[in-house]
Structure 1
Amino acid sequence: MTQHTDVVVVGGGQAGLAAGYHLRRQGLDFVILDADPAPGGSWQHMWDSLHLFSPAQHSSLPGRLMPAQPGETYPDAGHVVDYLTDYEKGYDLPVQHGTRVDAVRRDGEGLLVETDTGIWRARAVISATGTWSRPFLPDAPGRVVFTGRQLHTVNYRCPADFVGQHVIVVGGGNSGAQIAAGLALDGRVEVTWVTQRPPQFLADDIDGHALFDVATARRRALEQGRSDTGGIASLGDIVAVPPVRAARDAALLTAKPMFSQLTPGGVRWADGSEAGVDTVIWCTGFRPALSHLAPLNLRGTHGRIPTDGTRALGEPRLHLLGYGDWTGPASATLIGVGRRARDAARALTALLR
């Protein structure tokens, strides 16, 4: 049996919920299809010690402030899950959990959304699947011969899983810094942090709220034809959240240059020396999870779908939300996705009416 609606939103994390909020304000009929069995999006799968980069009041979706977490300036992932759960229920958003979208296809004036529980026929689709389900592993020399354990950020949980081991953490971004800091501060793990280039820590007083302001200022400058301010990239790579700051100040967070290759039992450094390693944690980022859109044949360079704002250039009935700056500055953040969701909902309203 095929069900009908104005808009199908694919993904029920922060981007999908923000889309639902604005679609309801526009008076459109919609459904949100989410593969996870429970609310919370990717936040329910994060590692135990992860904290937001911003205080709660600066990490909210549209219409509903995130409450402060007692005893924490920067809320942890569990608090975010609770907030998203409350947001979904508080606005009574029509989320169908445990529904995996397999494909989106053109069908005359509409789009067919094929799922593992049935088919939806929609006048438009908002894809908000994010990147968490598509971790990226680099083709590092020797990776296939290394006999130790290899994990990606998505598989990491806590230092207790690595007691007595030598762990190499690969990656110079926030995930690599936070995981390396947590392992180092635990004291029961020998940890080596390696990066492609020297890590750049942001000033201690810069958090996610300040970064959002910087990204917004850059967007406005570009829209007005002024010089590119450089945005967030001009400030550094790593937000000095408390655990990162503590490990850095204790000289426990000094990065080494990337190893030249993995060996069966460890790594070989550029000078030819070797070190035994039990586990490698690859904090090497993600790619957009867009396989469900493959039948539309919209992919451009770097695996991305060319867009104007959130609208797919090759299919005006499709909007992409929350994948990164290519779908709107700060659109992959809690505080930043609301503006892009509003834009997408307004554009679809104009198109459909």
Structure 2
Amino acid sequence: MTRPVDVVVIGGGQAGLAAGYHLRRLGIEFVILDTQAAPGGAWQHTWDSLHLFSPAAYSSLPGRPMPPQPGQTYPDASHVADYLTDYEKRYHLPIQRNTRVGAVRRQGDRLLVEADTGTWAARAVISATGTWSRPFLPAVAGRDIFTGRQLHTVNYRSPTDFAGQRVVVVGAGNSGAQIAADLALAGEAEVTWVTQRPPRYLADDIDGRALFDAATAHRQALNAGRTDTGGVASLGDIVAIPPVRADRDAGLLTAQPMFTRLTATSARWDDGHEAGADAVIWCTGFRPALAHLAPLNLRTPRGHIPTDGTRAVDEPRLHLFGYGDWTGPASATLIGVGRPARDAARQITELLQ
């Protein structure tokens, strides 16, 4: 049985909740389909020590300020998950859990959203599936013969899981620096941190609010045809949160250049230098989770769907945000997702009239 509805939102994390808030305010009929069994999106699956880059006051979804976490300047991931849980209850958002969307197809004036719990016929679709479910692993020589443990950022939880082990952490971004710092600070593992290029730390006083402002200014400059400001990338790659800063200043967080290959038991460089390894943690980023949109044939060879704001250029009934700056400045952040969600809801309102 196919169920008609005005809008289907695919994904119940922070982007999906922001979409739901604005759709509710505009009186639009919608449903949110989410693969998770519980609220909180990706925040319920992060490593134990993860904290936000910004204070709670600068980390809120539209309509509901995040309350501060007692004793913490920067809230931890569990506090964020609790906030998202409260958010969806507060606004009575219609979320259908344990629901995986396999495909979105065109059928006349509707988009068919095919899920493992049934099919929805929507007049518009918002895709807000994010990137957490699509970790990227680089094609490094020897990765298939390494006999130790290999895991991605999404699988890391705590330094205690690596007590007494030699761990190679790969990645020059925030996750690589934070996980290397987490392991080094605990002192339970021998840590080798490797990066493709020398780490670029942002100034110590920069947090997520400044990053959001930089991303917004970058997008506004491009939209107005002004000189490219460089955005967040011009500031650096790593936010110097307190644990990272402490390890860096203590000399515990020194990066080596990227190794050339893995052997069965080590990482090896061109000069013959080796670092023994019991585990490799790949902090090498993510790709947008867009497989459900494949039947619409919208993706470019680079994997993105061209958008005008949040709206797909070649399918105006489809909106995307929460994947990165290409779907709105800082749209993959708590503070940044509200604006593209609002814009998408307004455009959908016009479409439905």
Shorter chain as normaliser: what TM range?
A: over 0.9
State the distance in 1 between where 2:302 and 2:53 align: 28
Say yes or no: does 1:105 pair with 2:105. yes
State the distance in 2 between where 1:59 and 1:339 align: 13
Aligned partner of residue 147 in structure 1, secondary structure: coil
Cα distance, 1:225 vs structure 2:
2.7
Deviations 1:26-66 (A, max 9, x none): 11100000000100001101111111111100000000000
1:310 match: 310
Aligned partner of residue 192 in structure 2, secondary structure: strand
TM-score using structure 1 length: 0.99
Equivalences for 1:248-267 in 2 at 5 Å? 248-267=248-267
Aligned partner of residue 126 in structure 2, secondary structure: strand
Residues 5 and 29 in structure 2, CA contact (< 8 A), matched pair in contact too: yes
RMSD: 0.8
2:221 match: 221
2:16 match: 16
Cα distance, 1:70 vs structure 2:
0.6
Aligned partner of residue 302 in structure 1, secondary structure: coil
Cα distance, 1:273 vs structure 2:
2.1
1:118 match: 118
2:268 match: 268
Which ranges of 4 or more aligned residues in structure 1 deviate by more than 3 Å?
Answer: none
Say yes or no: does 1:205 pair with 2:189. no
Equivalences for 1:236-247 in 2 at 5 Å? 236-247=236-247
Residues 180 and 191 in structure 2, CA contact (< 8 A), matched pair in contact too: yes
1:129 match: 129
Task: Judge which range, 149-158 or 207-216, deviates more.
Answer: 207-216
State the distance in 1 between where 2:284 and 2:199 align: 14
Give the letter aligned to residue 74 of structure 2. Y
State the distance in 1 between where 2:26 and 2:171 align: 42
Cα distance, 1:233 vs structure 2:
1.0
Say yes or no: does 1:285 pair with 2:285. yes
TM-score using structure 2 length: 0.99
Deviations 1:196-240 (A, max 9, x none): 000001111000011111112222222333211111111111001
2:185 match: 185
Say yes or no: does 1:60 pair with 2:25. no
2:3 match: 3
Say yes or no: does 1:35 pair with 2:35. yes
Aligned partner of residue 167 in structure 2, secondary structure: strand
State the distance in 2 between where 1:156 and 1:218 align: 32
State the distance in 2 between where 1:74 and 1:155 align: 23
State the distance in 2 between where 1:28 and 1:322 align: 21
Residues 112 and 120 in structure 2, CA contact (< 8 A), matched pair in contact too: yes
Give the letter aligned to residue 187 of structure 2. G
Aligned residues: 353
Give the letter aligned to residue 268 of structure 1. R
1:153 match: 153
State the distance in 2 between where 1:208 and 1:167 align: 29
Aligned partner of residue 301 in structure 1, secondary structure: coil
Cα distance, 1:270 vs structure 2:
2.4
State the distance in 1 between where 2:115 and 2:233 align: 39
State the distance in 2 between where 1:276 and 1:307 align: 45
Deviations 1:277-316 (A, max 9, x none): 1000000000000111111111113111111111111111
Give the letter aligned to residue 316 of structure 1. P
State the distance in 1 between where 2:92 and 2:151 align: 37
Cα distance, 1:247 vs structure 2:
0.7
State the distance in 1 between where 2:113 and 2:130 align: 18
Aligned partner of residue 192 in structure 1, secondary structure: strand
1:195 match: 195
Cα distance, 1:78 vs structure 2:
0.2
**Structure 1: segments with no counterpart, 5+ residues:** none
Q: Identity over the aligned pairs, expressed in percent?
A: 76
**Structure 2: segments with no counterpart, 5+ residues:** none
Equivalences for 1:159-174 in 2 at 5 Å? 159-174=159-174
State the distance in 2 between where 1:58 and 1:304 align: 29
